[in-house]
Amino acid sequence: MSRTPSRRSFVASGLAAAGGTLAAGALSMTGSSAQAFAAAPEAAPFPKTPDAALERLLAGNKRFVQGKPEFPRRDSVQRIKTAQGQKPFAIILTCSDSRLAPEDIFDEGLGSLFIVRVAGNTGVDPVLIGTMEYSVITFGSVLLMVLGHTDCGAVKAAVDVVTKGTTLPGELPAVTQPIEPAVRAVQGQPADQLLDAAIHENVKMTQQALGQISTFADPVQSGKLEIVGYEYQLKTGKVTPVE
């Protein structure tokens, strides 16, 4: 993938903006807001390793599935703290589907997750890649999860394009084109298993493609970042690995 000066400028300007927000937030914290901030409990520690980050996400998902979410760090105190700056430990590349809300399914709060959403959870667009790179470079995020989900409409559309020659209206082909190679890779599967197979293959191919980008590959090699593929089960709420 080509690199342009604008990527570096983008990161630099983000750092400058973060610094300005920090200064402004500190100046504006007076009275009851400052007292609430001072009395607030410490936030959950930033996971030091990718394994610790994944363990934290899966523990939160377990609470969500069991119907025992803690809804952590979602109050006015956390809002004040995150207005000063953010430190997301994980990047979640997932679908735009309204039934999938990462903060809820992982039982996380404000400032913990850097979420990138696009129909079909693909990661080929330079804007999407640059967005994820920003979190790794600027915040030191240690985990990048590609999160697909069951019954994905974008993958369904890609299956129709590949198997039926369906012509989609408007800009929808831009959504399905990155998914179509995954459909072709599993096209030999029985018809009733094709959608699930394509969803899994799409996650795996996206995970593999991201791993070839130097911004991610270098920290992966040094153990500072891990890229994983998971699937969200719409009916059960459970997140399971895609292998």
Q: Which 8-state DSSP code applies to residue 130?
A: H
The model's pLDDT over 46-93, given as tens digits with 9 standing for 90+, comes to 999 999 999 999 999 999 999 998 876 765 766 677 677 788 999 999
In angstroms, rounded to a whole number, what is the distance separating the alpha carbons of residues 197 and 194?
Answer: 5
Report the pLDDT value the prediction gives residue 86, as an integer from 0 to 100.
82
In order, the DSSP letters of 176-189 are: HTTTHHHHHHTTTS
pLDDT (0 to 100) of residue 236: 98
Give the range with max mean pLDDT: 7-16, 27-36, 92-101. 92-101
pTM for this predicted structure? 0.80
Per-residue confidence (pLDDT) for residue 23, from 0 to 100: 36
Please say whether the structural domain 5-241 has been given the CATH code 3.40.1050.10: yes
Q: Is the pLDDT of residue 31 over 80?
A: no
Residue 32 has pLDDT above 50, yes or no: no
SS3 113: strand
Mean pLDDT of 147-163: 98
Report the pLDDT value the prediction gives residue 3, as an integer from 0 to 100: 43
Domain-by-domain residue ranges, the chain?
5-241
> Cα-flanking dihedrals φ and ψ of residue 129, to 5°?
-60, -45
Q: Which distant-in-sequence residues (6+ apart) come within 8 Å of 150 by Cβ?
A: 196, 199, 231, 232, 233, 234, 235
Q: Which of these, 213, 233, 232, 229, lies nearest to 221 by C-alpha position? A: 213
181-218 pLDDT, tens digit per residue, is 999 999 999 999 999 999 999 999 999 999 999 999 99
